[in-house]
Amino acid sequence: MDVIEAIDARRSVKQFDPSHRFSAEEERRLLEATIQAPTSFNIQHWRFVILRDPELRARIRRDHGNDQAQITDASLLVLFTADVKAFAKNPERYWANAPREVAELLVGWMGPFHEGREWLQRDEAQRSIGLAMQTLMLAATGMGYQSCPMIGFDIEKVAELIQLPPDHVMGPMVAIGRGTKEPWPKPGQLPLEELVVENGFSASATTT
């Protein structure tokens, strides 16, 4: 399956085969694909919490997850978080294989770009989470599996359960596995003419 086919085929699936298990090789392949997603300054500040413990999953589903079946039934449940202070934690390692002059330029710029701009740190973390999530879901589609991005859970309570560090932020979960039902037809995409703006928004532009 090529990339365009995977994009067209990817759907949010809610029903998964609870007996299906990924091999260690398949799981690593999915995660290795996920970390190919881009991040600003190559910070790679995502932190993937693999929710593997069946009891933990059951507790999240029962107490904090609105009884969503994919929390317990998916073969792989990944909670996306990010370290908003990663830019200040040994940043040289993000450019270890780059030419020295490039590494020095980017590492030197990284701190001043982020310091004191908490809103930017959080925004960049969430942008990076989104890019990684889509990469994971497309990789799963390409491997013949189904996925579901999820935000319908109590973020604060789940953060407590996983002991989220204070300098990290929470993102959505992604459930991956073998779907057991065909997804609903796509509910409808807005036409490009409503979504694409040429060069800028005119003062007279209106929306419906």
Average pLDDT over residues 77-95: 97
pLDDT tens, position by position, 172-181: 999 999 999 8
| 197 found inside a domain | no
Query: Which strand (E) or helix (H) includes residue 176?
Result: strand 168-177
Q: Is the pLDDT of residue 80 over 60?
A: yes
For residues 199-204, average pLDDT: 81
Q: Is the pLDDT of residue 1 over 90?
A: no
Instruction: Tell whether 193 is covered by a domain.
Output: no
Contact 174, 133 (CB under 8 A): yes
Q: Exposed e or buried b for every residue in 137-168, given b needs 16+ CB within 10 A?
A: bbbbbbeebbbbbbeebeeeebbebeebeeeb
- Mean per-residue pLDDT for 147-152? 96
For residue 79, pLDDT beyond 90: yes
Dig out the tokens for 58 from the structure. Answer: 């059951």
> How far is residue 194 from each of residues 20, 141, 199, measured CA to CA in Å?
41, 28, 14
Specify the pTM.
Answer: 0.92
Average pLDDT for the chain = 94
In a domain, 166, yes or no: yes
pLDDT at 206 over 60: no
Q: What is the pLDDT of residue 208?
A: 52
- Number of domains into which the chain is organized: 1
Q: Domain for residue 199, yes or no?
A: no
pLDDT level of residue 58 (50, 70, 90 thresholds):
very high
Domain presence at residue 202: no
Q: Stretch 163-177: mean pLDDT, rounded? A: 98
Q: What average pLDDT score do residues 124-153 get?
A: 97
Structural domain for 74, as ranges:
3-183
* Alpha-carbon dihedral sign for residues 107, 112, 115, 121: negative
pLDDT, tens only, 13-37: 999 999 999 999 999 999 999 999 9
Q: Which CATH number do you get for residue 8? A: 3.40.109.10
Does the residue 90 lie in any domain? yes
Higher-confidence residue of 81 and 207: namely 81
Above 60 in pLDDT, residue 207? no
pLDDT at residue number 186: 84
Percent of the chain past pLDDT 90, that is, above it, reads 88
Is 131 among the domain residues? yes
Domain membership flag for residue 190: no
Mean local confidence (pLDDT), 65-69: 96
pLDDT value at position 204? 61
- Residue 175 pLDDT: 98
